Amino acid sequence: MIEKNGDSIPHVLSVAGSDSGAGAGIQADLKACAARGVYCSTVITAVTAQNTLGVQGVHDVPEDFVAQQLKSVLSDMQVDVVKTGVLPSIRVVKVLLQSLAEFPVRAALVVDPVMVSTSGDVLAGSSILSSFREELFPMADIVTPNIKEASALLGGIHLETVADMCNAAKLLHALGPRKVLKVERLRVILQVIGEAWDVFQNVLVKGGDLPDSLDAVDIFFNGERFYELRLSRIKTRNTHGTGCTLASCIAAELAKGSPMLTSVKVAKRYVETALEYSKEILIGNGSQRPFDHSLRLKSGFHRKEVFNPSDLFLYAVTDSGMNKKWGRSMVDAVGAAIQGGATIVQLREKDAETQDFLETAKACLAVCRSYGVPLLINDRIDVALASDADGVHVGQSDMPASAARTLLGPEKIIGVSCKTIEQAQQAWISGADYIGSGGVYSTNTKANNPTIGLDGLKTVCLASKLPVVAIGGINASNAGSVMKMEVPNLKGVAVVSALFDRENVLTETKKLHDLLMEHHHRKSNEIHARQLSGK
Measured from the Cβ of residue 294, the count of other Cβ atoms closer than 10 Å reads 13
From the list 83, 206, 265, 419, the catalytic residue is: 206
- The number of residues in the chain equals 535
Cβ-Cβ contacts under 8 Å for 144 (sequence gap 6 or more): 110, 111, 112, 113, 204, 206, 243, 246, 247, 250
Q: What is the dihedral of CA 120, 126, 128, 130, to 10 degrees?
A: 130
From the list 21, 23, 25, 241, the catalytic residue is: 241
From the list 42, 45, 118, 242, the catalytic residue is: 242
Cα angle at 436 between 328 and 476, to 5 degrees?
55
Q: Quote the radius of gyration of the chain (alpha carbons, Å).
A: 25
Specify whether 362 is catalytic: no
Give percent helix, percent strand, percent coil of the chain, each to the nearest 5: 40, 20, 40
From the list 23, 25, 207, 243, the catalytic residue is: 243
Task: Say if residues 138 and 180 touch (Cβ distance below 8 Å).
Answer: yes
Specify whether 243 is catalytic: yes
Write the single-letter amino acid at 6.
Answer: G
Q: By CB neighbour count within 10 A (0-12 exposed, 13-18 middle, 19+ buried), where does 414 fall?
A: buried
The H or E element that residue 63 is part of is: helix 63-74
Closest CA to 271 of 299, 251, 243, 252: 243
Specify whether 239 is catalytic: yes
Cα angle at 405 between 399 and 410, to 5 degrees?
165
Closest CA to 26 of 64, 89, 63, 69: 69
From the list 45, 144, 239, 360, the catalytic residue is: 239
Distance CA 43, CA 35 (A): 20
Specify whether 241 is catalytic: yes
Closest CA to 473 of 291, 348, 317: 317
Specify whether 206 is catalytic: yes
Write the single-letter amino acid at 334.
Answer: V
From the list 244, 249, 364, 418, the catalytic residue is: 244
The H or E element that residue 101 is part of is: helix 90-102
Cβ-Cβ contacts under 8 Å for 29 (sequence gap 6 or more): 12, 14, 16, 40, 42, 83, 85, 244, 245, 248
What residues are labeled active site?
A: 206, 239, 241-244
